[in-house]
Chains A and B, each alone.
Chain A
Amino acid sequence: MSRYQLNYLDQLESEAIHIMREVAGQFERPALLFSGGKDSITLVHLALKAFRPGKFPFPLVHIDTGHNFQEALDYRDAMAERIGEKLIVRYVADTIKAKNLTEQKGKFASRNALQTYTLLDTIEEFKFDACIGGARRDEEKARAKERIFSVRDEFGQWNPKLQRPELWNTYNGRIDKGENVRVFPISNWTELDIWNYIRKEKIELPSIYFSHEREVLEYEGQLVAVSEFVQLEETDKISKKTVRYRTVGDMTCTAAVESTASNIDDIITEIIATKTSERGETRIDDKVSEAAMEDRKKNGYF
């Protein structure tokens, strides 16, 4: 290999940094959507590489559903503190109260859909014109069609038929007042790329990504953590299992996987061997219908 060749992870990293700097150069009031999951943690790491020794040209924004894993919240606060960047948190519970929204009912009542309201309100409150998110195209069919700069109208809606053609590495972020752009710097990364990058860069993650003992409820083949947000019934099968999380979302709609992988090497070995996709294995919210993600994106989900 010539000394002037870049490894694939370095190529992906450089592309993501380029995209983030385009956001900094093109927008007045951008934000980085941070959830405490591995993908947004990777985004923060990339932002450090893109802008240090300067400050981030955007705050970190977390839309807190109130159903988060405590480990992810602790990580979030510690990280914002450590890197000395501004963190804005807005709560779905507040939106529900202020707007008289109706919460989902049932066993795994999720606030995933309501999250969109809080996100759109937050965008309006701070007049954000660009929101950087950690979505990847390999996650889901509807995301495979997403541009890197994805324009949303004033209702936050995504219209797959009216996407701008995106050529070369030239990103067109021009918009009208009220519109905003969702930007996805790690569009071209797969789940395995993320893990390999986390290993290479020695990025710290919340503990729930690694194997631990947890009380779980078995439901249609998936393991859901027992928590105050899940309604238990007498017939429920509850047991203590050694599990870890492949994705980190709400406690009500993210399932754990049985695993003894306690370090990154073991996790990577496990992912290479797995036969199920990340969302298929761990996201209850995508299974509702064949086009669940497409519909949520059209309504302003990120």
Chain B
Amino acid sequence: MDILRFITAGSVDDGKSTLIGRLLYDSKSIMIDQLEAIEKQTKNREDGEIDLALLTDGLRAEREQGITIDVAYKYFSTPKRKFIIADAPGHIQYTRNMVTGASNSDLAIILVDARHGVVEQTRRHSIIASLLNIPHVVVAVNKMDLVEYSQEVYNNILIDYAAVAKSLGLKDVSYIPISALNGDNIVDRSTSMDWYEGESLLHILENVALHDDINLTHARFPVQYVIRPQTEALHDYRGYAGKIISGIYKKGDAITVQPSGLSTTISAIEVGGVEVEEAFAPQSAILHLEDDVDISRGDLITLTSNQPIVSNELDVLLCWMDSKPLVVGNKYQLQINSRLVRAVVKEFKYKVNVNSLEQEEVPDKVQLNDIIKATIKTASPIPYDSYQKLRVNGGAILIDETSHVTVGACMIQ
């Protein structure tokens, strides 16, 4: 049993909340008291039907205004997999929220309303999925019940979307016709669409191959904390604690610490307090090194045979997440994994139109939800990989030095 993290992307009326409610309900992850609470709320409304969407609308502020404010996380599991759903709302702040939810997702479900087909929103969601490099995409054509379960409607949407997928270079795309409201093709195959020969949505989610998504060749270990008990018995103990974000480390491997460039070998590896011969992503571990080299939090231990880029000039795609606009020349803290450096956003190259991927002229001030191509200069060199090549070591956040808020997400090119 492993874990699949996925995001559901859809506009306000695509039935996204209903789909999540349906998945939770049909996989029996909703408990009686939770259902009763919804029934009680539904009674206060006028229509009377149980509204599965209410399962995902968390806060009172949201219920009152009928919107979702931020990314909410939902959980369910089957004997095959544990699922973590990032539910990002579909209103104005959508780009920011979807980028946040997508950053940790292995898969995106892109909802398309069968009546409307591939629309601007569909393109936008797909563009964000591709910019964030989500490995798997499932296009769920919803509300099939409202188009009389028509195969022709479904096929036309497939043809339209295939063009989008091709232009974005999406690697693994599956398609499925569903009705979230009626439960068609969600957990079981629908009897209303005999022409559909694929599997149910849950079956797809349970069987997407995830092991290829973890990179086992580019060994990267950001040091989080140095463990030095300094007791009599453990006087010489010095362990570098961190999580292997990609690759495999073995006892005796030649390693290089970046950005210092110092090299030595691994003398011992511990996982959960037990000494092991090797450890791999995404395990948390403690590495011990042969020589006493200078290493502190934020340094990256890599295999000497496979090095990241080390530079203080970065080309990035930057998603702006703050209500205060970004001004060229502003200074920020840049954090990549556990490394924090001062940075200045030097130059805006172009703005990405999130509905068409076209490059547009950059305005003087970059606003919330804008995605731009920019160059960033850091106060000291950072070790990184291209985000599209190695997601876990190519994403960085920008932090406002005065408010301390996370204001930007950088995908390093």
Task: Give the interface of A toward B (CB within 8 A).
Answer: 2, 4-8, 10-15, 17-18, 21-22, 24-25, 48-55, 57, 137-138, 141-142, 144-145, 160-161, 163-170, 172, 174-176, 187-188, 190, 192-193, 274-277, 280-281, 290-291, 294
Contacts and interface: CB of A to CB of B under 8 A. Distances in A.
B338 to A, nearest CB: 6
A176 B229 contact: no
Given A145-B69, A165-B96, A276-B31, A7 B58 contact: no
B371 to A, nearest CB: 14
27 contacts: A4-B248, A13-B272, A14-B284, A21-B225, A24-B224, A25-B225, A25-B338, A50-B241, A50-B284, A54-B228, A54-B239, A137-B75, A141-B59, A142-B59, A160-B70, A165-B96, A167-B99, A167-B406, A168-B103, A168-B397, A170-B335, A174-B399, A174-B404, A190-B82, A277-B33, A281-B33, A290-B41
A8 B73 contact: no
Contacts of A55: 229
Contacts of B31: 274-277, 280
Interface in B218-271: 224-225, 227-229, 234, 237, 239, 241-243, 245, 248
A141 B41 CA distance: 14
A251 B387 CA distance: 51
B214 interface: yes
A138 B82 CA distance: 13
Contact of B282 (A6, A145, A170): A6
Nearest to B93: A165
A18 B284 contact: yes
Contact of B2 (A8, A165, A175): A8
B224 A2 contact: no
Given A21-B241, A53-B234, A145-B70, A169 B104 contact: yes
A160 B69 contact: yes
Contacts of B406: 164-167, 172
A54 B104 contact: no
A168 B234 contact: no
B58 A144 contact: yes
B409 interface: yes
B392 interface: yes
Label chain A's interface by main secondary structure: loop
Interface residues of B, number: 69
A126 B71 CA distance: 33
B169 to A, nearest CB: 21
Given A8-B3, A21-B284, A277-B34, A144 B404 contact: no
A21 B283 CA distance: 13
Given A25-B224, A25-B338, A170-B335, A6 B2 contact: yes
A11 B243 contact: no
Contacts of A15: 282
A137 B99 CA distance: 20
A163 B73 contact: no
Contact of A164 (B32, B337, B405): B405
B1 A167 contact: no
Interface in B365-413: 391-392, 395-397, 399, 404-406, 409
Given A10-B283, A17-B243, A170 B72 contact: no
A69 to B, nearest CB: 23
Contacts of A21: 224-225, 241-243, 284
Given A4-B280, A290-B37, A144 B73 contact: yes
Contact of A161 (B2, B69, B82): B69
A160 B61 contact: yes
Nearest to B392: A168
B304 interface: no
Contacts of A51: 227, 241
B243 A165 contact: no
B291 to A, nearest CB: 21
B298 to A, nearest CB: 8
Given A4-B280, A17-B284, A18-B243, A165 B75 contact: no
B2 A172 contact: no
A165 B282 contact: no
A2 B281 CA distance: 13
Contact of A169 (B77, B84, B280, B337): B337
Given A8-B3, A51-B227, A145-B73, 17 more contacts: A4-B214, A7-B2, A14-B282, A14-B283, A17-B243, A18-B242, A21-B284, A53-B234, A54-B239, A55-B229, A141-B59, A145-B72, A167-B100, A169-B245, A172-B404, A175-B404, A280-B31
A294 B34 contact: no
Nearest to A22: B224
Nearest to A21: B224
B203 interface: no
Contact of B58 (A12, A141, A161): A141
Interface string B310-336: 000000000001000000000001011
B343 to A, nearest CB: 14
A243 to B, nearest CB: 19
B77 A190 contact: yes
Contacts of A145: 58-59, 69-73
A298 B72 CA distance: 17
Contacts of A163: 70
B236 to A, nearest CB: 12
A187 B211 contact: no
A276 B32 contact: yes
Given A7-B2, A138-B75, A172-B404, A160 B59 contact: yes
Contact of A5 (B2, B71, B243, B272): B2
Interface in B291-309: 297
Given A53-B229, A174-B333, A144 B72 contact: yes
Contacts of B66: none
Contacts of A14: 243, 282-284
Contacts of B338: 22, 25
Contacts of B409: 165, 167
A165 B104 CA distance: 12
Q: Which 3 residue pairs are nearest across A and B when measured between Cβ atoms?
A: A280-B33, A174-B404, A141-B58
Nearest to B31: A277
B317 to A, nearest CB: 13
B216 interface: yes
Contacts of A6: 2, 282-283
B336 A170 contact: yes
A6 B82 CA distance: 13
